[in-house]
Amino acid sequence: MSRSKTCTALVLQVRQSGEQNREAVFLSREEGILKATLFGGPKSKLRAYVSPFHEGILWYYEDPVRNTKKITDFDVRHWRPALRESYAHLMAGSALLEIVLASQGSGGPWQEAFTLLSETLETLSTIQEAGIPVIVTYFIWNWLKVLGLLPELEHCQNCACNVRPDEVVWYSSLEQQAYCSSCGEPIQRTERERLFPINGGGRRWVARILELPASQVERYRVDEQTLAQVQRLGTELLQQALSRPISYGDTLNSRRSYL
């Protein structure tokens, strides 16, 4: 069995290892999360190639005895330099990578997770700063879909009714259930900080973006209030899943925030 392997991979993280080497973490289409060592000092061309956001064909050597992997080559197909040209783009892109790392690449299916991250980063690198909140929110909800954690928002978990298309649904982060307006009203008195409203427009927008590639999301406009509701609920669901906050700078709000 050959110890030299190849895969399609996207760089998530690079850290210094010793004086000369670096440890890189990839999301690969074939194997999911993959960690490998990049040997060589500053003069090594691979140091420039193996960098966050870069995507391409990775060659590596696997030592089954030591349980280590060594990067032998990386043919970059997508460089995405625009993600480093503005603070907002850099923070948004870094947030997406952090989400993938924190959830261990979703645990599978790898191809679906890889395609979602790759297409979202590619779209993020081509849009104006004003469109960043929409793209990040798109990724949050679609990543919840990959994780199998989408909430049921069309039925009240208390009275089992079908909510009206224009009705505000209240999602309880404590109970992890959605309530119609009537059932949610009394709960607001005791759990207001744990309740997340989402109106009919927000639910329809979420349903639509779950069917679209990232490149088409900006065609479906959403007002600021509705986007804020969708973003806040998706953020809460993702934070519960990861059990940790993820900073994303100023990409979604005018102040520093956390997922």
Superfamily of domain 4-78: Nucleic acid-binding proteins (2.40.50.140)
CA angle, residues 255, 257, 259, in degrees to nearest 5: 155
Q: Sorting pLDDT into bands at 50, 70 and 90, what band is 255?
A: very low
pLDDT at 259: 41
Report the chain's mean pLDDT, rounded to a whole number.
90
pLDDT at 251: 53
Q: Sorting pLDDT into bands at 50, 70 and 90, what band is 1?
A: low
Asked whether the beta carbons of 205 and 225 are under 8 A apart, the reply is no
pLDDT value at 216 more than 70: yes
Burial 138-172 (b: 16+ CB within 10 A, else e): bbbbbbbbbbeebbebebbbbeeeebeeebbbbbb
> Among 161-175, 207-221, 243-257, whose mean pLDDT is lowest?
243-257
Q: Sorting pLDDT into bands at 50, 70 and 90, what band is 247?
A: low
Separation of CA 98 from chain center = 8
pLDDT at 8: 98
Report domain extents, the chain: 4-78, 81-150+210-242
pLDDT at 254: 35
- pLDDT tens per residue across span 96-132: 999 999 999 988 789 999 999 999 999 999 999 999 9
Asked whether the beta carbons of 86 and 66 are under 8 A apart, the reply is no
Report, as an integer, the average pLDDT of 63-72: 89
Asked whether the beta carbons of 50 and 89 are under 8 A apart, the reply is no
